[in-house]
C-alpha cells in the first residue's frame, strides 16, 4: 500500500442509466476506433461514441446522441437527472428540418422546469439534385414535453453578429435564472446577447475588447468566465464578466499557469477554473483548481476511471508504478501500486477491475497492433497476458475525454463513463 494519499477528492457513482432502460431511451452508439486498433486484418475495433451532457441549475441533462451531425438521427431526446441523481424523465427534441443535409446541435441549456433551449446550425439543400444550400442558425425553446414555445432563424455567416435577426456565427448558449438566456457570438470582437427566455427576443448586448477562445464558461451566478492569452507577455490568464458589473475583471497568470490554463473544462460559483493536466505533458496527469487570483491547488492525480457496480477506481502512473485508488459508497478509500518491470507505466490504460480487485490494463496499442490485455493482482503480480477479446465492449469501461466533464456551482466534478451495461456519471466530493 502506497503512503501517497494522492487525492483531496473522493468519488461516488452519481447515476447509472442501463442500456435496456426503456423510459430513458439511451442506446449505445458505436464507431470504429482509430485504424491502428485492429482485431484482424480487415476488422477495426469498435468503441462507444461519447454522449453529450450538461450541468444546469437543478441537475444534469444528457443528449442521447454524440457530437456532430444529427440530421436523420431521429428520436433525439434530452434525459433529465436531478441534483440527487434521480431520473426525472426526458424531453423529445423537435425535428424542424427533415430534409437537412447537415444539422448540428451546437449547444443546449435547460432551466429548472425542464424547458429546453436549443442552438443549432442547419444546412439545407436548395434543390433536390443538391445544387446549392442554405446555411442558417436556429434558436428554439420547448417545454418539458417537447412542444415548441418559440423558434427564430437567421443566416449563418462569418460577419459581425446581429442578434435581432440571428445573423452571424453563434457557439455558446446558457440559461441563467436571474437574467435570462445568454447567447455568445464569435466575431472580431466577441459579443454576448441576452434574450427573454419566454419569447427569444434579445434585449441587451455586451461587447468585449479581447476576442475569446473556445474556453468560455458560464457559472450559475451568470458570470461569463474565459481564458485569455496575453501575447505581449506570453502568459495565459483569466477574465470574468457579469451583467451587473460596470466592467469586467482580468487576472494574468504566472509562468506556472501557462500550461494548465490551456485545458480548462469548467468553473464554479467562486469563479475558480478546473483544468486538466494532460498525460504526456506532465509527469503525473491530474486535475487542478485555479482560483481567479491565480492560486493553483492540485485536487487529484487521474488518468483513467472505471466502475464496478457502485465502486469507483481511478488510475495514474508515477514513474514505474501503476497507482490504483478505490472509492466505496460507504466512504472507504483504498490505494495500491503495481510495479511495471518493462515498458512505460504511462502507456498502461486501466479498462476494468474485477471482483477480486484484479486490474486489467490495455498495453501497446499502436499502428498495426491491437496491443495486449495485461491482468495484475492487487499485490502487483502479473496474472495473464492475452489478446484484447473480440467482444471488447462487453468487457471494458471507458471515461470520456476531459472536454466532456462538467462542474457545478460547488466545484463538484461530473465524469461520464460508458460501460458494458450502460451510461454512468461519477461525481467528485470533498470528504468531511
pLDDT at 11: 97
pLDDT at 130: 57
- For residues 330-341, average pLDDT: 92
Q: Which of 26-40, 264-278, 364-378 has the highest mean pLDDT?
A: 264-278
- 3-class state of residue 331 by DSSP: coil
pLDDT at 358: 97
pLDDT at 1: 29
Q: Is the predicted pLDDT of residue 140 greater than 80, yes or no?
A: yes
pLDDT at 2: 34
pLDDT at 348: 93
- For residues 255-266, average pLDDT: 94
- 3-class state of residue 243 by DSSP: coil
pLDDT at 4: 40
- For residues 383-406, average pLDDT: 88
Average pLDDT, the chain: 87
pLDDT at 277: 92
Interatomic CA distance for residues 380 and 386, integer angstroms:
17
Neighbours of 431 (CB within 10 A): 10
pLDDT at 32: 67
- 3-class state of residue 299 by DSSP: strand
Q: Edge-to-edge strand order for the sheet containing 116-125?
A: 102-110, 116-125, 133-142, 148-155
Which residues are CB-neighbours of 176 under 8 A, at least 6 positions away? 182, 218, 220, 221, 222
* CA angle at 431 for the pair 429 and 432, rounded to the nearest 5°: 130
Judged on CB neighbours under 10 Å (0-12, 13-18, 19+), 233 is exposed
| CATH class belonging to 50-207 | mainly beta
- Of the given ranges (80-94, 114-128, 202-216, 337-351), which has the lowest mean pLDDT? 202-216
- For residues 144-160, average pLDDT: 93
- For residues 299-309, average pLDDT: 95
Q: Is the predicted pLDDT of residue 3 greater than 50, yes or no?
A: no
Q: Is the predicted pLDDT of residue 159 greater than 90, yes or no?
A: no
pLDDT at 338: 94
Strand partners for 162: 167
% residues pLDDT > 70 (the chain): 89
For residues 420 and 143, which has the higher predicted lDDT (pLDDT)? 143
- Of the given ranges (50-64, 302-316, 367-381), which has the lowest mean pLDDT? 367-381
Q: Which of 58-72, 73-87, 95-109, 210-224 has the highest mean pLDDT?
A: 73-87
Interatomic CA distance for residues 51 and 109, integer angstroms:
15
Domain ranges of the chain: 14-48+303-432, 50-207
Q: What confidence tier does 134 reach under pLDDT thresholds 50, 70, 90?
A: confident
- 3-class state of residue 284 by DSSP: coil
Q: Is the predicted pLDDT of residue 197 greater than 90, yes or no?
A: yes
- For residues 313-338, average pLDDT: 94
- For residues 234-251, average pLDDT: 92
In DSSP notation, 376-431 reads E-TTS-EEEEEPPPTTGGGT--EEPPGGG-EE-TT--EEEEEE-SSEEEEEEEE--
Interatomic CA distance for residues 252 and 349, integer angstroms:
36
pLDDT at 121: 93
- For residues 52-72, average pLDDT: 83
pLDDT at 224: 92
Contact in structure between 24 and 31 (CB atoms under 8 Å): no
- For residues 241-257, average pLDDT: 92
- SS3 string, 175-242, reads EECCCEEEEEECCCCCEEEEECCCCCCEEEEEECCCCCCCCEEECCCCCEEEEEEECCCCEEEEEEEC
Amino acid at each position: 500500500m502506497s503512503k501517497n494519499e494522492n487525492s483531496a477528492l473522493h468519488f461516488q457513482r452519481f447515476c447509472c442509466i442501463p442500456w435496456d432502460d426503456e423510459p430513458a431511451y439511451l442506446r449505445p452508439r458505436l464507431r470504429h476506433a482509430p485504424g491502428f486498433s485492429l482485431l484482424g486484418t480487415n476488422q477495426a475495433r469498435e468503441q462507444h461514441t461519447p454522449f453529450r451532457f450538461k450541468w444546469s441549475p437543478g441537475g444534469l441533462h444528457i443528449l442521447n446522441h454524440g457530437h456532430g451531425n444529427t440530421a436523420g438521427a431521429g428520436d433525439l431526446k434530452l434525459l433529465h437527472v436531478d441534483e440527487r441523481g434521480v431520473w426525472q424523465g426526458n424531453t423529445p427534441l423537435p425535428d424542424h428540418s427533415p430534409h437537412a443535409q447537415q444539422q448540428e446541435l451546437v449547444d443546449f441549456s435547460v432551466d429548472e422546469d425542464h424547458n429546453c433551449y436549443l442552438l443549432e446550425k442547419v444546412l439545407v439543400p436548395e434543390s433536390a439534385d443538391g445544387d446549392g444550400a442554405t446555411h442558417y442558425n436556429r434558436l428554439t425553446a420547448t417545454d418539458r414535453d417537447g412542444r415548441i414555445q418559440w423558434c427564430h432563424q437567421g443566416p449563418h455567416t462569418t460577419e459581425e453578429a446581429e442578434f435581432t435577426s440571428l445573423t452571424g456565427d453563434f457557439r455558446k448558449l446558457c440559461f441563467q435564472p436571474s437574467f435570462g438566456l445568454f447567447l455568445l457570438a464569435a466575431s472580431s470582437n466577441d459579443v454576448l446577447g441576452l434574450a427573454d427566455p419566454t419569447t427569444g427576443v434579445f434585449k441587451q448586448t455586451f461587447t468585449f475588447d479581447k476576442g475569446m477562445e473556445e474556453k468560455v464558461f458560464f457559472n450559475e451566478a451568470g458570470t461569463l468566465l474565459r481564458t485569455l492569452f496575453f501575447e505581449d507577455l506570453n502568459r495565459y490568464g483569466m477574465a470574468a464578466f457579469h451583467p451587473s458589473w460596470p466592467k469586467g475583471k482580468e487576472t494574468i497568470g504566472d509562468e506556472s499557469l501557462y500550461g494548465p490554463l490551456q485545458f480548462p473544462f469548467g468553473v464554479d460559483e467562486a469563479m475558480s477554473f478546473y483544468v486538466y493536466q494532460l498525460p504526456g505533458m506532465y509527469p503525473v496527469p491530474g486535475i487542478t483548481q485555479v482560483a481567479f487570483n491565480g492560486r493553483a491547488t492540485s485536487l487529484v492525480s487521474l488518468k483513467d476511471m472505471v466502475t464496478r457496480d457502485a465502486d469507483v477506481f481511478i488510475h495514474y502512473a508515477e514513474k514505474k508504478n501503476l497507482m490504483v485508488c478505490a472509492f466505496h459508497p460507504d466512504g472507504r478509500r483504498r490505494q495500491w501500486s503495481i510495479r511495471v518491470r518493462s515498458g512505460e507505466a504511462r502507456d498502461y490504460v486501466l479498462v476494468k477491475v474485477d471482483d477480486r480487485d484484479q486490474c486489467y490494463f490495455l498495453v501497446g496499442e499502436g499502428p498495426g497492433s491491437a496491443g495486449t490485455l495485461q491482468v495484475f493482482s492487487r499485490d502487483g503480480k502479473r496474472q495473464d497476458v492475452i489478446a484484447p477479446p473480440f467482444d471488447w465492449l462487453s468487457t471494458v469501461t471507458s471515461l470520456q475525454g476531459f472536454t466532456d466533464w462538467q462542474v457545478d456551482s460547488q466545484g463538484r466534478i461530473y465524469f461520464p463513463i460508458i460501460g458494458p451495461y450502460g451510461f454512468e456519471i461519477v461525481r467528485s466530493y470533498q470528504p468531511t
